[in-house]
Amino acid sequence: MELHGLSLIGFGTGAAHGIELHALHATTGEKLAPTFQAASATEVDRAARLAATAAPVLARLSGAARAKFLRAIATKLEFNIAELTARGTWETALPLGRCQSEVGRTVGQLRLFAEMVERGEWVNARIETAQPDRKPLPKPDHRSMMRPLGPVVVFGASNFPYAFSVAGGDTASAFAAGCPVIVKAHSGHLGTAELVGQLVVEAVRECGLPEGTFSLVFGAGSEIGQALVRHPAVQAVGFTGSRKAGCTLMSVAAARPQPIPVYAEMSSVNPVFILPGAIKARSAEMVDGFQASITLGVGQFCTNPGLLIVQAGAATDAFIAALGAKLAATPPATMLTKGICAAYQHGVSERAKSAGVRVIAQGPSGNAGTASAALFGTEAANFVQCPGLAEEIFGPSTLVIYCRDRAEMLAVAAVSEGQLTATIQAMSYEDIDDLVQVVGGRVGRIVFNGYPTGVEVSHAMVHGGPFPATSDGRSSSVGTRAVERFVRPVCYQSFPDAALPVELRNANPLGIIRLVNGQWTRAVSV
């Protein structure tokens, strides 16, 4: 595969307009070839118009055809894994093994969505048959199911160059829904983005799908992305990144003449409540577990445990001391970009100066661009008075909050903003009910006796949570629930059978489960 550094606009490419971008080697900082060209306003408009033209064609595609397309992308990623991961490790400093497993995850994700749309049950088909003799008025036949929203703009994330980027979860779920996708490439892995983008375009062509099913645009700063979100053809937005950038996109989308939904996954500190019983029972295991969870991927996971809430005491002190020692001994590692690393170092040094905060442990310093773990401590009374301490420092930094008793622990839980996850480490479930009630209202996923990192791509996963964890806590960006972000229900009244979408026809040709007159059934006729 060859890189050209040009946006992929439908089946064509963008041109050079003077604004250049460079991919950087994450470890050495050197520029990597080729030079990338930012898309022009005209190219953005063209991508959006092509997507609008493709939208009704994709909307009518059978589940089997959508599945074929998703699987074609998956196969191409697998076939080109060596090239994709070689470029990825240069651009992100993520180890080769991590890049390989992330491509595997991306492939699995595409195939899970393929299986889902092929089966067809995800459309939530509902049928109410007519009652012509009902008094006082006859009841007409009503049938409804989920239909695609239209063109979706996806912003690739820096920390998952495959699974949350060009052909990642947002794109896969939008394609599964039947929506065209325009990806704004993340500047942290431009070459990886173009390689994946080329494969998606190949799959579009091979599957005979219309031009505009997919486009990939490069751009410096926020201008191109915002132009996409403002474009009247665009109907929804998927984003993973900072709270600031996500909130800006929310504002831009809300200010459109026609406001559109934004699904932004933004910020989470993933509080972990460690009860005394757990320390008593599993201190050594938890020292290993939290060291790994905090430093995994240099802490660059949205589910990184940023707060450990403990009850003060001798056993807790010993546990935290052991965890601190292990973190202090963890070697530094290169972060995704110089910018992310600089923000982390700044965040850590500011936190060390915060009133009432002490440094418990800090890993060794390393070369420029590398980061070490940092473990801080504060009292619950101080934490609840300083909202700044609840802010995320993206990277391997964790704050231990010492509570005098359960009441203080609940008070800490009660001031928490929306989170992707909360974790409870306890001896048994009997003593966690009060905590579950408080944190359950604020998070997308509650983990019992585990670690927040590690997000399964499955039917039951919820990777979401109330604001500011995401812009829209009613959604998940991982797992098959993610498709629900890009669809809306449409009802067909008194339609002749043959004019209905296949999922709603009497004969139930797909054999899917449907809510027929109030009963879920796979009945072949109604």
Residue type, 148: P
Q: Is 520 exposed, middle or buried (0-12, 13-18, 19+ CB in 10 A)?
A: exposed
Query: Of 179, 302, 341, 403, which is the active-site residue?
Result: 302
Residue 343 CB-half CA count within 13 A: 13
CA separation for the pair 216, 209 (Å, rounded) = 16
Q: Does 520 bind a second copy (CB under 8 A)?
A: yes
CB of 235 to a second copy, least distance (A): 8
Question: 71, 105, 445, 505: which one contacts a second copy (CB under 8 A)?
Answer: 445
Q: 508 vs 47, 64, 99, 195, 526, CA distance in Å?
A: 37, 15, 42, 41, 9
Q: Which of residues 474-503 bind a second copy (CB under 8 A)?
A: 474-476, 481, 487-496, 498-499
Q: Which is nearer to a second copy, 87 or 231 (CB)?
A: 231
Question: 66, 68, 71, 143: which one contacts a second copy (CB under 8 A)?
Answer: 143
Q: Does 462 bind a second copy (CB under 8 A)?
A: yes
Nearest to 397 by CA among 506, 298, 285, 278: 298
Question: 133, 137, 244, 314: which one contacts a second copy (CB under 8 A)?
Answer: 137
Q: Which is nearer to a second copy, 143 or 186 (CB)?
A: 143
Q: Is 271 exposed, middle or buried (0-12, 13-18, 19+ CB in 10 A)?
A: buried
Q: Which two tokens stand for residue 93?
A: 């400093």
Q: Which of residues 239-298 bind a second copy (CB under 8 A)?
A: 250-251, 254, 258-259, 261
Q: Does 234 bind a second copy (CB under 8 A)?
A: no
285 is catalytic: no
Question: 127, 185, 249, 409: which one contacts a second copy (CB under 8 A)?
Answer: 127
Q: Does 83 bind a second copy (CB under 8 A)?
A: no
CA separation for the pair 275, 426 (Å, rounded) = 5
Q: Does 126 bind a second copy (CB under 8 A)?
A: yes
**192-211 footprint of a second copy as x/- string (CB under 8 A):** --------------------
**Interacting stretch for a second copy, rule CB under 8 A, among 196-204, 205-213, 327-335, 454-462?**
454-462
Q: Does 513 bind a second copy (CB under 8 A)?
A: yes
Residue identified by tokens 């200010």 is: 255
Number of residues that bind a second copy (CB under 8 A): 80
CA torsion, ordered 91, 194, 77, 189, to nearest 10 deg: 20
Question: 31, 60, 205, 346: which one contacts a second copy (CB under 8 A)?
Answer: 60
Q: Does 56 bind a second copy (CB under 8 A)?
A: yes
Question: 91, 128, 170, 194: which one contacts a second copy (CB under 8 A)?
Answer: 128
Q: Which is nearer to a second copy, 337 or 470 (CB)?
A: 470
Q: Which of residues 333-372 bind a second copy (CB under 8 A)?
A: none
Question: 17, 456, 507, 509: which one contacts a second copy (CB under 8 A)?
Answer: 456
Long-range CB contacts (< 8 A, 24+ apart) of 15-18? 15/40, 15/43
Question: 85, 92, 106, 144: which one contacts a second copy (CB under 8 A)?
Answer: 144
Q: Which two tokens stand for residue 506?
A: 């009497």
Q: Does 515 bind a second copy (CB under 8 A)?
A: yes
Question: 120, 238, 332, 464: which one contacts a second copy (CB under 8 A)?
Answer: 464
CB of 460 to a second copy, least distance (A): 4
Question: 18, 132, 136, 388: which one contacts a second copy (CB under 8 A)?
Answer: 136
Q: Which of residues 383-442 bind a second copy (CB under 8 A)?
A: 417-418, 428-429, 432-433, 436-438, 440-441
CA separation for the pair 348, 435 (Å, rounded) = 29
179 is catalytic: no
CB 286 within 8 A of CB 250: no
SS3 475: coil
- The rounded radius of gyration (Å) of the Cα atoms in the chain is 25
CB of 80 to a second copy, least distance (A): 22
Q: Which is nearer to a second copy, 365 or 458 (CB)?
A: 458
Q: Which of residues 165-184 bind a second copy (CB under 8 A)?
A: none
Query: Of 43, 91, 128, 265, which is the active-site residue?
Result: 265
Produce one character per residue of 476-505: b if its CB has 16 or more CB atoms within 10 Å, e if not.
Answer: bbbbbbbbbbbbeeeebeebeeeebbebbb
Q: Which is nearer to a second copy, 137 or 284 (CB)?
A: 137
Q: Which is nearer to a second copy, 56 or 356 (CB)?
A: 56
Q: Does 111 bind a second copy (CB under 8 A)?
A: no
Produce one character per residue of 406-417: b if its CB has 16 or more CB atoms within 10 Å, e if not.
Answer: eebbbbbbeebb
Residue identified by tokens 């915002």 is: 226
Question: 14, 88, 150, 169: which one contacts a second copy (CB under 8 A)?
Answer: 150
Q: 216 vs 156, 342, 361, 397, CA distance in Å?
A: 10, 28, 43, 34
Q: 178 vs 126, 131, 395, 429, 512, CA distance in Å?
A: 19, 33, 36, 42, 18
Question: 4, 25, 45, 59: which one contacts a second copy (CB under 8 A)?
Answer: 59
Q: Does 471 bind a second copy (CB under 8 A)?
A: yes
Residue identified by tokens 């070697």 is: 331
CB of 246 to a second copy, least distance (A): 11
Q: 430 vs 423, 435, 441, 451, CA distance in Å?
A: 15, 11, 19, 20
Point out the residues that are catalytic: 265, 302
